[in-house]
Chains A and B, each alone.
Chain A
Amino acid sequence: MSTTGSQKSERLINLTMALLASRGFLSKTQIFEIVAGYSGSAETKERMFERDKNDLRDLGLEIEVGTEDPLFEDEAGYRIKPSSYAFQPEEIGALDPLDISLLSLAAAHWQNTLFSRSGQSALRKLESVLPLLETESLSLPLISQEVPESRFESIWSAINSGGIISFTYRAGKDSRRRVEPLRMTLSEGFWYLIAFDLEVKDVRRFKLIRIGEDLEIESSLKKEREFDGWISDAITEDIDPAHAIDAVILLRVGRAHELRHISMIEAKDSDWDQATTRFDSEDELFEALASAGSSAILISPIESRNKFVSWIGEKLNV
């Protein structure tokens, strides 16, 4: 941090304290007179103050603009109301050790920088107003399922600002997409962007990890599309019952335990048992068979059996 940067932080804190302490509105002239850190020509001080004001607003502080005398409105004044600045413990109410444990677990959930930083800073704020926080041992699992994602923060901002974004999407092949972001959802460890694709004119789901670094936010365009619960259809996995397969598989005795666990088993002979299992898709069936290796033989459906042989053969003929 440069000396200039340090001086700026010092000035921002002094300005915050002055605006908080003032009962009335402080004019710029008064601020330049009483707050440490403003120096130089009138124009320089003016520019410094405008930047400082924006910075404090970026920190979430509500700076009120008004005037003491309604008859002379030409010089605006500024103040921060203590009630709009300070977190009061009553806002969240009483918290016992169980609540604190749950909030700590909730904060520990995140791997993305924005949420993990925000969660920890929220806990520190609680620690600043409550007596030493005690926690209670919980028999709740720790859910640390989020895959770290560098694009989370940009897309979060895009959704909150309501702009249109474009990016290269890496799926089966690379393609440039231009979308109106609608929602974000975390599912099985991955964040997904639910967005209206302006090219295909439909709602699509994009895995954040596949969104390229070349993300561009067209902040000037505001989305106008209304959306509601129907979007949830787009984010649920599409399992078509018509694609389900009832498979009969021979399993080597004492082997293929994963398949046994999900199947109806009948003894066949001293070497093999017969399993009947329903799979959601042919892909799922083939993955299970290949995972069981030489401990499983697909008997029916016969078409799937032939396809499986080709599926394995494809890997060998490289």
Chain B
Amino acid sequence: MSESSLDRTSRALDLIPFVTNNPGFSIAELAERFDSTPSQIFKDLEMLFMCGLPGYSHLELIDMELSDDYVAINNPQNLDLPRKFSFQEIASLTLGLQALLPIAQNPEIAKRITDLMTRLIAMVAEGERTQLELFSVQSEVLKGEWDEVIATAALRKIALSIDYLSARTDSLTTRTIFPEFTYGSRGFLYTKALCTLSGEMRHFRHDRIIRAQEMPDAIRPTQIQDSTEKVETVRAILSRRNLFFIETHPTIVASQVITKDQIEVTFELGDREWLLRSLSSLPGRVEVVEPRAFREAYHARLDAILALYR
């Protein structure tokens, strides 16, 4: 879709002070920074060559140096400062900080977040402050006993020995991991780490880690296996009560058709065991249509549960 002249004007007004204060960026770097294309940024800058103060002599035009790998503005005229923050810009940062607050365990960082929020809110026009209160973020995550140990290991780039409850295989294993970073998702904290047991990058949910111990002398393996699993396509029919399931896992849903009573869905994923377990614990009607082998495994799992009650 082509962009509007307003979008382009907005970007150009932001480009001038940015380039003035940060000379030396290439066109490609500016394009990345401004979420645009190099050809578009080049056109913007070419246009700005023609802009200036009334009179439009060489002394009144915006003066810049422009080549593919070097852009500088020597005289921005009266556009040397960016426009004031918009309401959306302040809302984006304030609500983003609000999301960080519940996970900040260090009181100094929590205080800093609150302070930044106060400073940003003070920048909102008085009449718009109540508008800002109409939006809120609830980002509480389940805190785990080992969150700080994991965070420290990630910062120091050292290994941890952990005891981990795997829901996928219903097993308790001890493994050495090299934490990369921690992220929150839907109420839980996860750490992406190199697992020496599997030789792959894996995601570990913090509340399933029941012991963690620093291993400063462990040596990080140089070889990481390709964790690409064979992708399986599974077609299923779910009752509409299970809408939440496809909403919560959009990355595995290849297609979906929602009709009056049911959802016809095609999943594409590598983790077959996870899908079997997930489908069997969904409420209401859950029919696996194909492939046959998956359908049989699903029925065998449910039959095994029922056999316990006969």
Contacts and interface: CB of A to CB of B under 8 A. Distances in A.
A140 B102 CA distance: 11
A91 interface: yes
Given A61-B83, A122-B85, A294-B308, A115 B92 contact: yes
A1 B8 contact: yes
Interface stretch (A63-71, A180-188, A196-204): A180-188
Given A21-B78, A60-B83, A82-B78, A124 B93 contact: no
A258 B35 CA distance: 43
B170 A255 contact: yes
A312 B306 CA distance: 7
Contact of B154 (A105, A139, A255, A297): A139
Interface stretch (B111-119, B213-221, B223-231): B111-119
Contacts of A151: none
A70 B34 CA distance: 44
Contact of B77 (A17, A105, A117): A17
B199 to A, nearest CB: 23
A318 interface: yes
B103 A141 contact: yes
A315 B280 contact: yes
Interface in B12-55: 12-14, 17-18, 20-22, 33-35, 40, 43, 47-48, 50-55
A290 B281 contact: yes
B129 interface: no
A109 B12 CA distance: 25
Q: Which among A12, A207, A255, A309 has the greatest number of chain B C-beta atoms within 10 A? A: A12
A125 B83 contact: yes
Contacts of B52: 14, 17
B197 interface: no
Range class of the B interface residue count: 35 or more
Interface string A136-157: 0111111111011000000000
Contacts of A124: 14, 18, 33-34, 82
Interface string A69-108: 0000000000000101111100111000011001101111
Nearest to B6: A55
Nearest to B298: A315
B171 A105 contact: no
A292 B241 CA distance: 21
A105 B134 contact: no
Interface residues of A, number: 114
Contacts of B33: 124
A139 B151 contact: yes
A41 interface: no
Interface stretch (B64-72, B178-186, B264-272): B178-186
A313 interface: yes
Nearest to B153: A139
Contact of B309 (A14, A55, A142, A305): A305
Contact of B210 (A82, A183, A185, A261): A261
Contacts of B240: 171-173
A59 B43 contact: no
Q: Which 3 A-B pairs have the closest CB atoms?
A: A106-B96, A139-B151, A86-B81
Given A10-B50, A36-B50, 18 more contacts: A1-B8, A1-B40, A17-B52, A36-B54, A85-B83, A99-B116, A108-B96, A118-B92, A125-B83, A129-B21, A185-B136, A186-B99, A189-B185, A189-B248, A209-B247, A286-B281, A291-B277, A293-B301
23 contacts: A55-B9, A60-B84, A84-B84, A102-B97, A102-B109, A118-B89, A118-B91, A121-B14, A122-B93, A128-B21, A137-B155, A141-B151, A141-B182, A143-B100, A145-B186, A147-B250, A159-B134, A172-B240, A184-B134, A185-B137, A207-B247, A257-B166, A257-B167
